[in-house]
Amino acid sequence: MAGAGFRSTDRAAREREEEALAPAATRAAATRGRAVAEPEDPLRTAFERDRDRILHAKAFRRLKHKTQVFLNPDGDHFVTRLTHTLQVTQVARAIARALGLNETLAEAIALGHDVGHSPFGHIGEDAFDPYVPGGWHHAAQGVRIVEVLEHLNLTWEVRDGIRAHSWKITPPPATREGECVRYADRIAYLSHDALDAVRAGVLRAGDLPARAREVFGEPGSAMVGAMVDAVVEGSLADGGAVVMAPGPLAAMHELRAFMFRRVYMSETAAGQKQLAVDVIRRLVDHHLAHPELIPATYRDTAADPVTQVVDHVSGMTDRFALAAHDRLFGDDAAARMTPLLRRG
């Protein structure tokens, strides 16, 4: 009989399966909806459609050529903004699954959480601050990308998770799945950034805080697994929010402070900061004087000129920004942006 080896798992069937999730889970059938109403997909839930739209977005593809921490590393194994995003997604799904939450919603938020990142990592955020009242932040730009620049028309829950994935943003995510992504982001970057720093010779494994090594183990899979376990344990004990158990949370804060002191704000990581800032600001100023250079396919004509230029330049990859800068100004910034890290 045709189809005897299969069973129907269309949208309605999967929405029924979501009824068995934990009470705190967000169900796709109960979404607050999209800014523009759409007919439901016959096969995919609302959150599955969001996940797929993000995966096919141009901003998502550009993440492969955007910095995570170290500018222009000369090696194939260092983390990029794209591989970071994939690791965050895996961790977020693991936490959501263990807590009976909506794994697909956590996945969609995680895949989209960094689509608004500028070239040259967080250095780029500093470069754009003078052009944006109150400062520029990649989370807000990510929401702008999915809402305005790429017209993805995502559900409210996914947009809210992208908006609030950073711990310093208030209010926090409205869903427990968004809280999963907050922890997943921090777990992923602390572990893989420490691993990259050790691989590059910036740190030795023994340099990491003793309490963090005792609680979480060495950077890599052991550290990720221990942090995930601590979030699951803390959340089950709390019963109302996604949280890390108090002892491990203190160790994670100590590790994060160490990473800022020894890696993120170090001379090694910031040695080319001024060059990166100069490249971005020269590009912004040039495009303000020549707005016709902004591609029509990635331009919000309803926005003011500064916003249009910031949209364009912040969307550039590292290598595109360097190439555009050197072409426009006859400079050699790309050559001067020599790899800081030369180990694979």
Q: Do residues 109 and 181 make contact, with C-beta atoms less than 8 angstroms apart?
A: yes
Q: Say if 177 falls within a structural domain.
A: yes
Q: What is the pLDDT along the chain (344 residues), one digit of tens a residue?
A: 456 788 888 999 999 999 999 999 999 999 999 999 999 999 999 999 999 999 999 999 999 999 876 665 566 677 789 999 999 999 999 999 999 999 999 999 999 999 999 998 888 888 999 999 999 999 999 999 999 999 999 999 999 999 999 999 999 999 999 999 999 999 999 999 898 888 878 888 899 999 999 999 999 999 999 999 999 999 999 988 999 999 999 999 999 999 989 888 777 656 678 888 999 999 999 999 999 999 988 789 899 999 999 999 999 999 999 999 999 999 988 877 765 544 43
What is the DSSP code (8-state) at residue 207? Answer: G
Q: Say if 107 falls within a structural domain.
A: yes
Rounded to whole angstroms, the Cα distance separating 28 from 17 reads: 11
Can you give the pLDDT at residue 72? Answer: 58
Rounded to whole angstroms, the Cα distance separating 42 from 263 reads: 48
Phi-psi region of 336 (alpha: psi -120 to 50; beta: other; left: phi over 0): alpha
Count of domains observed in the chain: 1
Locate the DSSP E strands across the chain: none
Rounded to whole angstroms, the Cα distance separating 222 from 216 reads: 7
| CATH number for position 204 | 1.10.3210.10
Q: Say if 261 falls within a structural domain.
A: yes
How many residues are present in the chain? 344
Can you give the pLDDT at residue 67? Answer: 82
Q: Say if 235 falls within a structural domain.
A: yes
Its pTM stands at: 0.95
Q: Say if 247 falls within a structural domain.
A: yes
- As beta bridge partners, residue 67 has 80
Q: Say if 316 falls within a structural domain.
A: yes
Q: Is 49 helix (H, G, I), strand (E, B) or coil?
A: helix
Rounded to whole angstroms, the Cα distance separating 139 from 117 reads: 8
Rounded to whole angstroms, the Cα distance separating 127 from 136 reads: 9
Q: Is 172 helix (H, G, I), strand (E, B) or coil?
A: coil
Q: Say if 67 falls within a structural domain.
A: yes
Domain range for 311 is 41-336
Distance set, CA 96 to CA 4, 89, 308 (Å): 33, 10, 37
Q: Say if 22 falls within a structural domain.
A: no
Rounded to whole angstroms, the Cα distance separating 17 from 20 reads: 6
